[in-house]
């Protein structure tokens, strides 16, 4: 692999995690130790009760620790109180990078998403195995604790050992030149593994503090809560054919009929012709009465109906972050309170003696576009304070030149300008843009032409990036995250990549440095970071780290960082950031948008009305 390492350790843990949200309970571990030429030296096996206070192998500077989805192994290190290895090669991260291929643009074809488990990675490299082991069933039995009576400790250790053997074979194949097309850059993978293994293990283990009392009340009174949310937020409620069933189940067909009944013919559609029902489409169409609330309802019911929120016995929501889970290198986090509507985030409740702070990069993607393209006008407008206000002025949607006043009095218009800015940046055409703005196509065309004239350097850079990617058959982030291109790619995906991929770089670098400085985040959210700190000095330190990482990605151009939420039960401890304190200082997260406030208030009203909560217990 690399002559700089005198030994290699390939390891795998098996663990029980009977209740979703709890930390894993390690059951066994197998490690194979190799010399500098990757020749097997010894095999180490440990069963529960035999782990010890330190790893039974070297984790120092001249050892490379190898695992598949290494964040899982490092989470077991945390539970056992072991220090992390200095250097890590995560074979999963390596496989994600090597197999990150943009499929041909075929809007009428449904591409099945490839699985990226260890057996899938091995098959991609021509490695077979597990023929003698019922891998899927034994894995499930270990995880949910039902292995007893089905499998012996010897069988489980053999299963774990087989994983280590295959991981070692995979690691050899990934770094062996000339044998296959999925070769990886070892040094980059080691760098990425600082995030995908170390940082992810720390963040997932920390989790987010949830109010379990309120969450349980909502679940116990689910029928009443869903019924009232439907009454207040579903614009089709009371119709003969409502969008939702009384149980809170969404129907695409009934949504389509709702649009027809209300003469909403301009709803964005996918290239396949089907209605676009993702969040961006709802935001674009939020000017239509009832649509913003319908969007809020859709996102909220996803968590209430499905009860899909893993909360540990300590009251912490521990979602799966899935690092590098998207083509642009963003996380693909799932089962997080941030996967659902902002109104549901009021379930976050920070404990006594802590400060919850949510920091986000200011209009990150636009700032990256400005910096990477070198467009002087776009950089000027970004630095002016509110790029969306500048766009509204230039496109004739406002004559209010005070961006602070405009932002506070026109939140819906600002949201539309945000969608418009991003849509133009990523190549939305005149028809879709006009529908989203509820304007004639001639107006939509004029807006795009104005944008081209005002930000000519950005448009030139964007096209050059696309053309260069087509010549090279790949495109990379500033620090090397790749996207390989097959035939006939979606042009908008390639337009989108530099902003998304470099935003992901910013988040990864910041998370790693925050963890290295003892400021482990509670959650990583696209362009924001949720922290649980002890004092204002730690807030300032976190902001400086985020600003620095933004400059590293953007040629020294500074992407601003805002304090979006500041949550504490001890407001007297806040001096420098006092202006960011909410009116109610009880440590609870409260989204500032009106629809989010109404969503949470509705849920609390229901619980109070049915007597599950005393009146005005929670604001």
pLDDT of 435 higher than 90: no
pLDDT of 506 higher than 50: yes
Q: Are 218 and 225 in contact (CB under 8 A)?
A: yes
- Give the separation between CA 189 and CA 121, rounded to whole angstroms: 15
Average the pLDDT over each of 112-126, 382-396, 524-538 and give the range with the smallest value. 382-396
What pLDDT, on the 0 to 100 scale, is given for residue 355? 95
Answer yes or no: is 275 within a domain: no
Q: Which domain holds residue 84?
A: 7-206
What is the separation, in whole angstroms, between the first and last Cα of the chain?
A: 58
pLDDT of 424 higher than 60: yes
Going by C-alpha positions, the residue among 94, 87, 118 that lies closest to residue 12 is 118
CA atoms within 13 A on the CB side of 584: 13
Q: Are 339 and 333 in contact (CB under 8 A)?
A: yes
Answer yes or no: is 381 within a domain: no
Beta bridge partners of 568: 355
pLDDT of 442 higher than 80: no
Going by C-alpha positions, the residue among 619, 606, 596, 563 that lies closest to residue 219 is 606
Answer yes or no: is 605 within a domain: no
What torsion, rounded to 10 degrees, do the Cα atoms 120, 123, 127, 131 define?
70
What pLDDT, on the 0 to 100 scale, is given for residue 69? 97
- Give the separation between CA 609 and CA 619, rounded to whole angstroms: 14
What pLDDT, on the 0 to 100 scale, is given for residue 298? 94
- Looking at residue 444, the DSSP 8-state letter turns out to be H
* Structural domains counted in the chain: 1
Mean pLDDT in residue range 570-579: 86
Give the C-alpha distances (Å, rounded to integers) separating 289 from 211, 235, 242, 382: 33, 8, 16, 31
Question: Domain of 55: which CATH number?
Answer: 3.30.420.10
Mean pLDDT in residue range 316-323: 95
pLDDT tens profile 196-218: 999 999 999 999 999 999 999 99
Strand order in the sheet with 63-67: 40-47, 25-35, 7-16, 63-67, 87-90
| Dihedral over Cα of 162, 79, 334, 304: its sign | positive
Going by C-alpha positions, the residue among 200, 237, 272, 295 that lies closest to residue 512 is 200
| Dihedral over Cα of 477, 339, 529, 364: its sign | positive
What pLDDT, on the 0 to 100 scale, is given for residue 446? 77
Answer yes or no: is 56 within a domain: yes
Give the C-alpha distances (Å, rounded to integers) separating 578 from 418, 445, 547, 568, 583: 28, 45, 21, 11, 11
β pairing state of 25-35 and 7-16: antiparallel
What pLDDT, on the 0 to 100 scale, is given for residue 596? 93
pTM, entire model: 0.92
Answer yes or no: is 199 within a domain: yes
What pLDDT, on the 0 to 100 scale, is given for residue 109? 62
pLDDT tens profile 543-568: 999 999 999 999 999 999 999 999 99
What pLDDT, on the 0 to 100 scale, is given for residue 347? 96
pLDDT tens profile 241-285: 999 999 999 999 999 999 999 998 888 887 778 898 988 788 878
Q: Are 602 and 232 in contact (CB under 8 A)?
A: yes
pLDDT band at 433 (very low <50, low <70, confident <90, very high): low
pLDDT of 169 higher than 70: yes
pLDDT tens profile 73-87: 999 999 999 999 999
What pLDDT, on the 0 to 100 scale, is given for residue 107? 62
**Stated length of the chain:** 619
pLDDT band at 128 (very low <50, low <70, confident <90, very high): confident
pLDDT of 386 higher than 60: yes
- Give the separation between CA 563 and CA 566, rounded to whole angstroms: 7
Share of the chain above pLDDT 70, in %: 94
β pairing state of 25-35 and 482-485: unpaired
- Compute the C-alpha angle 425/427/428, nearest 5°: 105
Answer yes or no: is 555 within a domain: no
How big is the chain by its Cα radius of gyration, in Å? 26
Answer yes or no: is 30 within a domain: yes
- Give the separation between CA 130 and CA 121, rounded to whole angstroms: 13
Maximal C-alpha separation, the chain: 75
- Looking at residue 54, the DSSP 8-state letter turns out to be S
- Give the separation between CA 254 and CA 258, rounded to whole angstroms: 6
What torsion, rounded to 10 degrees, do the Cα atoms 253, 254, 259, 261 define?
120
Answer yes or no: is 610 within a domain: no
Inter-helix orientation angle 456-472/441-454, to 10°: 90
Q: Percent helix, strand and coil across the chain, each rounded to 5?
A: 45, 15, 40
- Give the separation between CA 555 and CA 406, rounded to whole angstroms: 31
What pLDDT, on the 0 to 100 scale, is given for residue 202? 98
- Give the separation between CA 168 and CA 163, rounded to whole angstroms: 9
What pLDDT, on the 0 to 100 scale, is given for residue 266? 80
CA 418 to chain CA centroid, Å, is 20
């Amino acid at each position: 692999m690399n002559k700089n390492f005198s030994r290699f350790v390939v390891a795998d843990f098996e663990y029980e995690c009977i209740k979703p949200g709890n930390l894993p309970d390690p059951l066994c571990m197998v490690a194979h130790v190799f010399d500098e030429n990757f020749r097997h030296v010894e095999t180490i096996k440990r069963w529960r009760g035999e782990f010890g206070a330190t790893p039974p192998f070297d984790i120092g500077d001249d050892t490379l620790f190898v695992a598949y989805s290494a964040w899982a192994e490092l989470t077991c290190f945390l539970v056992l109180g072991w220090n992390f290895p200095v250097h890590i090669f995560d074979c999963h991260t390596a496989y994600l990078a090597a197999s990150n291929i943009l499929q041909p643009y075929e809007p009428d074809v449904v591409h099945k998403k490839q699985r990226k488990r260890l057996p899938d990675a091995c098959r991609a490299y021509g490695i077979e195995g597990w023929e003698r082991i019922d891998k899927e069933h034994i894995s499930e039995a270990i995880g949910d604790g039902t292995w007893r009576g089905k499998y012996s400790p010897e069988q489980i250790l053999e299963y774990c050992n087989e994983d280590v053997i295959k991981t070692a074979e995979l690691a050899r194949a990934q770094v062996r030149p000339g044998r296959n097309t999925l070769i990886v850059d070892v040094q980059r993978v080691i760098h990425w593994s600082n995030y995908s293994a170390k940082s992810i293990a720390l963040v997932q283990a920390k989790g987010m503090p949830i109010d379990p009392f309120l969450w349980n009340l909502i679940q116990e009174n689910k029928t009443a809560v869903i019924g009232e949310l439907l009454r207040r937020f579903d614009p089709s409620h009371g119709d003969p054919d409502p969008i939702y069933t009384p149980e809170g189940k969404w129907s695409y067909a009934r949504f389509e009929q709702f649009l027809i009944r209300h003469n909403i013919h301009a709803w964005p559609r996918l290239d396949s012709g089907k209605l676009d029902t993702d969040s961006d489409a709802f935001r674009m169409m939020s000017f239509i009465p009832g649509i913003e609330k319908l969007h809020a309802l859709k996102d909220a019911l996803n968590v209430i109906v499905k009860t899909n929120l893993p909360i540990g016995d300590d009251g912490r929501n521990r979602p799966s972050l899935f690092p590098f889970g998207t083509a642009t290198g963003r996380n693909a986090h799932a089962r997080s309170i941030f996967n659902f509507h902002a109104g549901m985030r009021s379930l976050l409740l920070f404990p006594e003696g802590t400060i919850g702070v949510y920091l986000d990069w200011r209009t990150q993607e636009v700032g990256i576009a400005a910096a990477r393209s070198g467009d002087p006008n776009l950089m000027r407008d970004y630095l002016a304070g509110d790029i969306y206000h500048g766009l509204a002025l230039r496109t004739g949607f406002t004559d209010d030149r005070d961006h602070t006043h405009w932002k506070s009095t026109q939140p819906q218009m600002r949201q539309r300008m945000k969608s418009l800015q991003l849509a133009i940046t990523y190549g939305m055409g005149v028809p879709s843009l006009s529908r989203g703005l509820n304007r004639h196509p001639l107006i939509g065309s004029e807006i795009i032409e104005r944008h081209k004239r005002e930000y000519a350097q950005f448009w030139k850079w964007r096209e050059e990036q696309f053309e260069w990617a087509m010549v090279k058959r790949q495109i990379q982030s500033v620090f090397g995250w790749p996207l390989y291109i097959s035939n006939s790619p979606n042009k908008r995906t390639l337009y989108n990549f530099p902003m998304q991929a470099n935003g992901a770089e910013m988040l990864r670098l910041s998370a790693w440095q925050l963890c290295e400085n003892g400021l482990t985040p509670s959650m990583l959210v696209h362009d924001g970071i949720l922290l649980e700190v002890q004092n204002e000095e730690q807030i300032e330190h976190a902001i400086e780290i985020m600003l620095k990482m933004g400059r590293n990605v953007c040629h020294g151009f500074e992407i601003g960082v805002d304090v979006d939420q500041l949550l504490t039960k001890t407001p007297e401890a806040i001096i420098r950031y006092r202006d960011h304190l909410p009116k109610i200082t009880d440590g609870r997260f409260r989204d500032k948008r009106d629809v989010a406030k109404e969503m949470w208030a509705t849920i609390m009203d229901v619980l109070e009305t049915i007597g599950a909560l005393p009146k005005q217990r929670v604001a």
